[in-house]
Amino acid sequence: MDPRYTIPTQMAKKNSGGMVVGIIVVLLLIAGGAAYYFLVYKKNKDAEAAAASAEAEQTVPVEEGQMIEKEVGTLEVSSGAGGTGTGTGGGSGGTSGASSTQSTGGTAAPSSAPVPKWAVIDRGDRGGADIKWGMNDLDTCKSECAKDSNCKAVIQIPSTGACGLKSDVSGAYSWDDRKMYLMGTGDFAVMQGVDVTPGANDIAQNDSDNIDSCKAECLANPNCKSFIVGEHNGKTNYCWHKGTADGIVSRTNRTTYVKLA
């Protein structure tokens, strides 16, 4: 062979072999890149699918009374008249459930104390049992009495305007230049050991031996201002209805019920 062609031929063979190796390397790189892309793509898709599944579990509609088991506990959905509520509970070693309800509606009006009622007895007084004394305004005395659960009456001295509070009116009696303001929240104020004008000012009598019957008759009669209860004619609770509450006297075997207004 002509020496002029020997070296180029050898170089062509060498270049041909290098080209084949390069092509193989390129193919391997392409195959590796495709495999890597496929793995990353699949991983991302799996992550998106897992996130979508978790979101679907959280937003799935739940019917009343349905229980959903979760790793941290039990979720119970309940409904009430004014709204709905949910609760969850959980802890180490086991699961627990809780439920709550929420309601809406009108606000209840705040309760208020009973409005005091009063009855005036001219010349009425009672020694002792003073809660407070020395005020000079009747309205102030009444207001203070209404705020004190122990107060039963206000005594006023009309000539000076001085007044005070009493915690007891049993055994009350008449006294000049005095006025007694009995306080209560029912229909009658009760004075133990007191009578009203004995033998006078009677407008009716009741021998039913029933105090409730006496109350009902007095309430039904606008002229009845008080009634007296005591033993008489074999009855323990004989009643005398009176057209006045003035003229009180101490009397141990009588109880006076004064109508409040």
pLDDT of residue 23: 78
Which H, E and C letters describe 162-221, residue by residue?
Answer: CEEEECCCCCCEEEEEEEEEEEECCCEEEEEEEEECCCCCEEEEECCCCHHHHHHHHHHC
Residue 182 falls inside a structural domain: yes
Taking residue 87's Cβ as centre, other Cβ atoms within 10 Å add up to: 15
Query: Does residue 189 lie within any of the structural domains?
Result: yes
Structure tokens at 151: 């107060």
pLDDT for position 99:
40
154 closest CA partner among 166, 144, 162: 166
User: Which residues of the chain are under the pLDDT cut of 50?
Assistant: 1-2, 5, 59-106
Per-residue model confidence (pLDDT) at position 138: 97
Residue 74 falls inside a structural domain: no
Q: Is residue 241 part of a domain?
A: yes
Eight-state DSSP code of residue 106: P
* Residue 206 domain flag: yes
Secondary structure of residue 114 in the 3-state scheme = coil
Q: What is the structure's pLDDT at 119? A: 97
Tell me, what's the pLDDT at 215? Answer: 97
* CATH code where residue 125 lies: 3.50.4.10
- Residue 32 placed within a domain: no
The residue range of the domain holding 225 is 117-259
Number of domains the chain is built from:
1
Residue 218 within a domain = yes
- Cβ-contact 173, 197 below 8 angstroms: no
- Provide DSSP, the chain: --HHHHHHHHHHHHHHHHHHHHHHHHHHHHHHHHHHHHHHHHHHHHHHHHHHHHHHHHHS---TT-EEEETTEEEEEEE-SS-EEEE-EEETTEEEEE-------PPPPPP-PPPPEEEEEEEEE-SS-EEEEEE--HHHHHHHHHH-TT--EEEE-TTT--EEEES--TT-EEEEEEEEEEEESSSEEEEEEEEESTTSSEEEEE-SS-HHHHHHHHHH-TT--EEEEEEETTEEEEEEEES-S-SEEEEEEEEEEEEP-
Within-domain flag for 157: yes
Residue type, 204: A
Q: What percent of the chain has pLDDT over 70?
A: 60
pLDDT of residue 5: 47
